[in-house]
Amino acid sequence: MRIVLIKYITAIDSDSRSHLEKGIVIICLLYLVKNIYKGDTIMKKSFQIIAFLIAGLFAWSVSADEVSDLKDALADLEERMNDLEDSAEASGAAGWWTKSAIGGYGELHYNNKSGTGTIDFHRYVLFFSHRYNDSVSMNSEFELEHSIAGEGKAGEVELEQAYIDQNWGEYGLPNTNMKYGLFLIPCGITNEIHEPPTFYGVERNVVEKEICSNTRWEGGFQGTHVVPEWDLTIIAGVHSSLTTSDGDIRAGRDKVASATMNKEAYTGAFRYTGAYPGLELGLSWDYEPDMNEGQKGEQVTGKMWAVHANYMPSRGFGSRAFYGIWDLTCPAANRSSNQCIENGRNEQWGYFYEGSYRWDVTETQSMGLFVRRQEWDDKAGTKNATTTKNNITLSSFGVNWWITDEAVVKADWGRKKTFGSAAVQEFNMGMGYSF
Amino acid sequence: MANIKITIVAVLSFFFIVIISINSHNVIAEDVLLSKEDFFKIAFGEDVPRRKGLRFKGEVKEIAQKIMGSNYKKLRMKYWRQDQKTAWILERIGKVELITAGFIVENCRISSIHVLVYRETHGWEVKYPSFRDQFVGISMIESFKLNKRIDGIAGATLSVNSMEKMTRLALAMNSLVPEINCK
């Protein structure tokens, strides 16, 4: 029995092993084990033990080979499964609509100044964007203001952004994007970010409206470089200029509408977020070599500096502050073509600070309260006998109710005091959304 | 004077073109901030474990869709594990584009998060260390929420939202890995 068994084990090679054969081997081994302790003499016992060991050795090596084969097959199968999963989950060839996106925002305002009320759908904006490939995309913003545009109507149809955006990673400059086209100027906080759910108060703050001439866009080139290790973003652009015959910054916006461009202008900003999580500190600058209307003759040079702090966590205390100044060089010889030498607009300044608190109402709704103090003077420079200071203060407080994070209902109360005039009370209500 | 200006512009343009052409072979499409290989090195050093997966059904599917939305579908939630540390590579759309991010979870807390690919043209703030540092040590509370509120700068809200959701997903899936004990 034992000799037959050993011959059997050694004759069969590992490739033709089957479960049945394995079973037979195991049964025989067990039989051998059982009989070892039944042996009569030491000789018989020794022989049985040796036979047992040899059989066990072959059986074990057979099992080891098979397990190794199984392991290889399993590893191969796993790899094929992984490849299959990856390809199943990856999106296939997609149509143009998967690379294009629309978005937008809008706001309706009710304004009441000293008892006189007006209602206006102030802005209806649509964003269209399209991604051509990993590096190049197009972004645009189309706007209708005050509901109805046209001859004699209150509204305007405007193109507020339209540019090609290219990532320069393929040129060996990662974290760098270049805009070619019509883009927003990086001044302050709200010139670039003004969707209604992102700020308190029905109207945008007046200080940034005046100093940064919100909303201001120009045509040209603008580069943005991010240095992640330093928590820093750097923006710089060369583009069309403000042009004004009297130093009114906001009125100097040409909106890239068949505008004069005999001299370019330069703007830029630094934005730093490393001081505290969620806090952005910014420095904006604007250099306009020639702001004169038509940009002919004597140059009117303008320089602007502004700093801001923006801390707006989605719950809890928040704060914003801004301070900006304009310095216009208004040649006396230019008096006839440009009034800025004598109407005080050669120096302009403005600042505001705001505190807020936002809390949960339900899982998706929240509310916030704010107080804000604004002060500005757009005629703070040299004046003639008839032009006076234009120091204006506006103190306000109000509430935002975010029905969702992107849809908001607002109300605010304000007291506006212009130098030399009586204070004006105002009440505003509005709704705004973005998507 | 004009001649000097033109010369300067021409010289600068020339150098600019030279630099670009020298660097053109470094094709860095979109904005790959960190490669997968480098991410794994940060997570596991030289000894990167084999990729594993949680089958996307039952509890795994239910919890993943609760966090990421009912449209979220996978075959498996893939992960890499070394002792009580797991690494996850997840994707979610920010505003318009996908953000690819890596999450390292150790002892059921976030060890670190990394933005691997950022394709949006805005909201770069999520790339900053000061933003990502907020996530270190975060863990999960009931309903698979984070034990700390995450905030970005106004304007990065949608990207921030996506990072927050992916963080919740990484922590939730980590707790479902058989060898991980989160009690």
Q: What gap in Å lies between CA A114 and CA A125, rounded to an integer?
A: 30
The interaxial angle of helices B157-176 and B59-68, nearest 10 deg, is 170
Record: contact A277-B130, CB cut-off 8 A = yes
For residue B14, what pLDDT is reported?
Answer: 65
For residue A91, what pLDDT is reported?
Answer: 58
Percent residues over pLDDT 70 in chain B: 83
**Contacts with A181 (C-beta within 8 Å, 6 or more apart), sequence order:** A161, A162, A163, A164, A219
Residues of B in contact with A134 (CB under 8 A): 29-30, 119
If you measure CA to CA, which chain B residue comes closest to A131?
A: B97
For residue A390, what pLDDT is reported?
Answer: 82
Record: contact A85-B95, CB cut-off 8 A = no
Record: contact B33-A228, CB cut-off 8 A = yes
Describe chain A by its helix, strand, coil percentages, rounded to 5: 25, 45, 30
Q: Please name each of the domains of chain A with its CATH number.
A: 2-87 (no CATH), 158-434 (2.40.160.10)
HSE of B163, CA atoms in CB hemisphere, 13 A? 31
For residue A29, what pLDDT is reported?
Answer: 66
Report how far apart, in Å, the C-alpha atoms of A64 and of each of A15, A57, A412, B48 are. 12, 10, 81, 27
Q: Does B32 touch chain A (CB under 8 A)?
A: yes
Contact B87, B80 (CB under 8 A): yes
Q: Mean of the per-residue pLDDT values for chain B?
A: 84
Record: contact A277-B151, CB cut-off 8 A = yes
For residue A211, what pLDDT is reported?
Answer: 94
CA proximity to B79, closest of B181, B183, B182, B171: B171
Q: Does A139 touch chain B (CB under 8 A)?
A: yes
pTM of the model: 0.77
Q: Does B57 touch chain A (CB under 8 A)?
A: no
For residue B25, what pLDDT is reported?
Answer: 46
Beta strand A156-167 pairing with B85-93: unpaired
Task: Dump pLDDT digits (tens) for A227-273.
Answer: 888 889 999 999 999 988 888 888 889 988 888 888 899 999 999 98
HSE of B61, CA atoms in CB hemisphere, 13 A? 10
CA proximity to A221, closest of A265, A166, A165, A179: A179
Contact A12, A21 (CB under 8 A): yes
Beta strand A424-434 pairing with A407-418: antiparallel
Match 């006998």 to its residue by tokens: A385
Record: contact B127-A82, CB cut-off 8 A = no
Instruction: Over range B143-162, report the average pLDDT.
Output: 79
CA distance B58 to chain A (A): 18
Q: Which of B75, B129, B151 sits opposite A228 (nearest CB)?
A: B129
Alpha helices in A247-329 (DSSP H): none
If you measure CA to CA, which chain B residue comes closest to A86?
A: B75
Q: Does A208 touch chain B (CB under 8 A)?
A: no
Q: With a cut of 0.85, is the ipTM above it?
A: no
**Contacts with A423 (C-beta within 8 Å, 6 or more apart), sequence order:** A415, A416, A417
CA distance A341 to chain B (A): 30
Please list the ranges in chain A whose pLDDT falls under 50. Answer: 11-16
For residue A299, what pLDDT is reported?
Answer: 85
Which residues 313-352 on chain A approach chain B with CB closer than 8 angstroms? 313-316
Residue A89 tokens read as 């989950």
> Has residue B172 got a pLDDT over 90?
yes
Residues of A in contact with B51 (CB under 8 A): 82
The interaxial angle of helices A2-11 and A42-89, nearest 10 deg, is 30
If you measure CA to CA, which chain B residue comes closest to A132?
A: B30
Q: What gap in Å lies between CA A185 and CA A67, rounded to an integer?
A: 69
Record: contact A228-B20, CB cut-off 8 A = no
Mutate to test the interface with A, among B151, B158, B159, B165 (most CBs of A within 10 A): B151
Instruction: Over range B134-143, report the average pLDDT.
Output: 91
Record: contact A85-B127, CB cut-off 8 A = no
Instruction: Tell me how many degrees the CA angle B141-B90-A274 measures, rounded to the nearest 5.
Output: 75
Containing B43, the helix (H) or strand (E) segment is helix B36-44
Tell me the count of A-B CB pairs closer than 8 A: 106
Task: Dump pLDDT digits (tens) for B24-41.
Answer: 544 444 677 889 999 999
Residues of B in contact with A137 (CB under 8 A): 121
For residue A35, what pLDDT is reported?
Answer: 66
HSE of A29, CA atoms in CB hemisphere, 13 A? 16
